[in-house]
Amino acid sequence: MNISIRQLTAFIKVADNGSFTRASEQMYLTQSAVSGLIKELETGLGIVLFDRTTRQLSLSAVGRHLLPQARRILNEMQLFENEASSLTSLAQGQVRLAVSQFAASSLPAVIAQFAKEYPNIGVSLLDCSAENLLKHVQDIEVDLGVGTELGFIETEDDIGADLLYKLPFCVVMPDDHALAQKDEITWQELLDIPLITLQGPFLEQVTVELDDSIAAQIQQARYKVNFMSTALEMTRQGFGITLCLPYMPEVIDWVSANGLQMRPLTQPIKMRQFFIYQRASRALSPATIAFKQFLQTYFATHYHDLHQPETLSIK
């Protein structure tokens, strides 16, 4: 039994008007077409909805009983259409986002800007380790993930990755440090200088393709901490110099305002890439598509200069 929306609409219109003629006018159909819809509905249900005489058309007892339910079904369908329309038009929606450590520091500013343009779309933020980022995406616990290329190495076929931005490795030191006189610093010049580095994947990534001597120096750094804010404050207090990613403009401003200087590291210039991850086989909602596009535009605009090491020499 297949009951169509047109059949239910014809049933309600005929019942409300007590006439096939007036119902057909409101539905912009011929009278025979409306009569045919009622006949199909009655045949499909195996019941009589209207009592017909030569002078009068009225609801049968069964028809009176079913009419409220027919109205309720059409109202629910209208609500369904309205809900779908609001989601498509971005009148509402929800985006679930997972981010790794460095990305987590810059994403709140993006979300705040997004909320100004799309106030009815909610964005939830899950900060996690780089190692767990892809699992959250794979398990559909989130719609999008933002993290480094460490996760990209381990991606499965069902994970898609779009480059979001990339940042060069830099070094931060006090104003009076001997290296502060240089416009750029090579990795070899860090030998035998007390270093402050981050633990975990940061340490692994920074030493890839470096000379063994400087790689060993970094891996055996005197101080290893968990947060970049700690490393920067220890640098300010004179414990050593720190390797840094200028992962947000605010970091650069903080360095400049606190008696520190930043220089790009060269020979080689090493870049760290950040990606947007998603399930390749899963269609994104309109709200998530809007957020992803906003994210890409935001970083293309605000992080353009940070892609170039020569722009990061802060004196």
**pLDDT given at position 266:** 92
52 shares a domain with 30: yes
H/E run at residue 241: strand 241-244
* Residue 108 to residue 82: CA distance in whole angstroms: 31
Query: Of the residues 86, 121, 137, which one is the last residue of a structural domain?
Result: 86
Query: Of the residues 41, 59, 86, which one is the last residue of a structural domain?
Result: 86
* Confidence category of residue 305, pLDDT binned at 50, 70, 90: low
180 shares a domain with 146: no
* Residue 284 to residue 80: CA distance in whole angstroms: 19
Asked whether residue 315 is domain-assigned, the answer is no
Asked whether residue 76 is domain-assigned, the answer is yes
Asked whether residue 251 is domain-assigned, the answer is yes
What token pair was written down for 247?
């992962």
174 shares a domain with 265: yes
Are the CB atoms for 24 and 10 separated by under 8 Å? Answer: no
265 shares a domain with 195: yes
Instruction: Count CA atoms closer than 13 A to 36's CA, side-chain side.
Output: 5
Segment 147-198, tens digit of pLDDT: 887 544 454 568 889 999 888 889 999 999 999 999 889 999 999 899 999 8
Among 46, 23, 44, 48, smallest CA distance to 33 is for: 23
128 shares a domain with 189: no
226 shares a domain with 196: yes
129 shares a domain with 74: no
Among 160, 193, 165, smallest CA distance to 265 is for: 193
Asked whether the whole model's pTM tops 0.85, one would answer no
151 shares a domain with 298: yes
Token pair 């200087």 in the structure block, residue: 261
* Residue 25 to residue 14: CA distance in whole angstroms: 11
* Residue 204 to residue 266: CA distance in whole angstroms: 18
Q: How far is CA 90 from CA 80, 260, 296, in A?
A: 15, 44, 18
Local structure of residue 283 (DSSP, 8 states): P
Domain total for the chain? 3
Other beta carbons less than 10 A from residue 257's beta carbon: 8
CATH of the domain at 121: 3.40.190.10
* Residue 315 to residue 309: CA distance in whole angstroms: 14
Segment 31-70, tens digit of pLDDT: 999 999 999 999 999 999 999 887 789 999 999 999 999 9
Averaged over 2-15, what is the pLDDT? 93
Averaged over 286-311, what is the pLDDT? 78
What token pair was written down for 294?
């906003």
288 shares a domain with 158: yes
Q: Dihedrals φ, ψ of 223, to 5°?
A: -125, 130
Q: What range does the domain containing 155 cover?
A: 93-166+273-303
Are the CB atoms for 152 and 161 separated by under 8 Å? Answer: yes
Asked whether residue 140 is domain-assigned, the answer is yes
240 shares a domain with 174: yes
Asked whether residue 311 is domain-assigned, the answer is no
252 shares a domain with 201: yes
**pLDDT given at position 151:** 46
Segment 206-248, tens digit of pLDDT: 887 788 888 898 988 999 998 888 999 999 999 999 998 876 6
Asked whether residue 309 is domain-assigned, the answer is no
Asked whether residue 258 is domain-assigned, the answer is yes
Asked whether residue 308 is domain-assigned, the answer is no
Other beta carbons less than 10 A from residue 94's beta carbon: 13
* Residue 13 to residue 276: CA distance in whole angstroms: 51
The β-bridge partners of 139 are none
The string over 270-303, giving b where at least 16 C-beta atoms fall within 10 Å of a residue's C-beta and e elsewhere, is: bebbbbbbbbeeeeebbbbebbbebbeebbeebb
194 shares a domain with 248: yes
Query: Of the residues 86, 111, 131, which one is the last residue of a structural domain?
Result: 86
Among 167, 211, 168, smallest CA distance to 191 is for: 211
